[in-house]
Chain A
């Protein structure tokens, strides 16, 4: 079997910005001294006069982006998720979210898979923060193909968007020939009848792998990719839960307030079924190689399969 290509979604984002730059001149890209890491540096190289570095000043980054957007343009603003969603939360809430401005926040280095930099840089809370902002669209792409489509969708969408991107290069498993991104619409990656596994980001691939392992044990898992955590695809989640009767959520994020909580919000109102949330428990991360960290925190196929089996054992 040929080795699967691995690409970090931040690279997909940076390359797509360059493509968009060739097609449109009504947007600019801003960064806060992390252009080489967030990959907006690719846009800087291609269009130096359309790129602005505000230096290490994330509050200013977001509010300048808001001011540009208030003149009727689009502004992409990038930093690490920790400093975008974390440090500049209130700027995003009051100066971008409230006036519903066309700022597209490309937040890289989200989650534990930041790796060696450790807890201060591993943002496991950004989905929770961003999805509480009225009118904010929150997208967590699962691979290169989806991240490219999501970046384009963010540009085309009228309103603020939070794009959650990863540092870690991960397998490209969607087919660019057939893949279609619809904002707010989840994707059934694999049909099943015993359990619904809802995932986002790099956990989608882990969920698919878990479903393979479970199939060998006679468990039929339905895998749903929720790339748009907000607005979430309530119908798809409720319909699948009604069919399988149990749900496991998977995210590289705190179990408090993220995808798992969003799914539980849907299920509590539409289809109450037992749920297991696979994510970062109420703790901080630690330094270490990304894949080892994900394994240690149970954020891989093995952890997902174990959670499914535990849920099934409750019956």
Chain B
């Protein structure tokens, strides 16, 4: 796909986030919108997956370690053809395949159950290790939140990935600067993020604008060329990106838009398209 085509898809992914969190009257739109462009690139350009055979054993794997961005993952998966886009309206509803946080047993295309922060990255390390051990060649991608990396387990995982030179693993940090209790600097800063991953043996790629498709393509292209080290892409993003009243607002970490906000957000995203 061209960058313009991917931008169009990313906008549709954003609409799916708004539809889902509006229908659920809850969920996490802020961190879903910040990651929408990266998720779009992964599912529509980077990863080798087959929506007709979600369990294909040679597929690339994706672990949403920041599991609360499930609305964006579901939206990308639906648009990629893993399940009907209409199903996004069932997000968080009783009986839905779209649980509040991803569960691999419920949703086609979800490779790992996540939601408790810090655990997904270790699971991604396990997958990358398995791909190498059984010599299968597929790659593993993992998306972390910048607040999430306050979890000590993230660094246990990073230490192991670095020591085992898992160059089939790409960890992306969605650095939108906000967590529930405030900015990451106010709460308990994990800065400098790039230096930390470098110290743990990662090849670090700093992505100046993680909401810019051209730059995202460059970052993942560079990641593919790295050998002998796992890759960390530190992506500067905007929480709530694409919906004016959600951008940079910590309040939009974990609540759904009401009817009026839904109309405004969808109108803005439709203009964008």
Which residues of A are interface residues toward B (Cβ below 8 A)?
Answer: 28, 49-50, 52, 54-55, 57, 59-60, 62-73, 75, 90-91, 94-95, 98-100
Contact = CB atoms under 8 A, between A and B. Distances in A.
Contacts of A95: 112-114, 116, 119, 122-123
Contacts of A69: 126
A281 to B, nearest CB: 33
Contacts of B129: 52, 64, 67-68
B156 interface: yes
Interface residues of B, number: 33
Contacts, number: 106
Given A28-B133, A67-B123, A72 B57 contact: yes
Interface in B53-72: 57, 61, 63
Interface stretch (B2-10, B103-111, B230-238): B103-111
A94 B119 contact: yes
Contact of B122 (A49, A52, A64, A75): A64
B153 interface: yes
A72 B127 CA distance: 10
A70 B153 contact: no
Contacts of B111: 70
16 contacts: A49-B133, A55-B160, A63-B122, A63-B125, A63-B126, A64-B129, A67-B63, A67-B125, A67-B129, A69-B126, A70-B111, A71-B134, A91-B122, A98-B105, A98-B113, A99-B112
A68 B126 contact: yes
B113 A67 contact: no
B68 to A, nearest CB: 13
Contacts of A91: 116, 119, 122, 153
Contacts of B112: 66-67, 70, 95, 99
A240 B61 CA distance: 51
Interface majority SS on A: helix, strand, loop or mixed? helix
B65 to A, nearest CB: 10
Nearest to A54: B160
B113 A59 contact: no
B124 interface: yes
A63 B57 contact: no
Given A67-B130, A99-B105, A60 B57 contact: no
Pick the 10 closest A-B CB pairs, nearest first. Answer: A67-B126, A63-B122, A67-B123, A60-B156, A57-B156, A64-B126, A99-B113, A68-B126, A71-B130, A67-B127
Contacts of B122: 59-60, 62-64, 66-67, 91, 95
Nearest to B158: A60
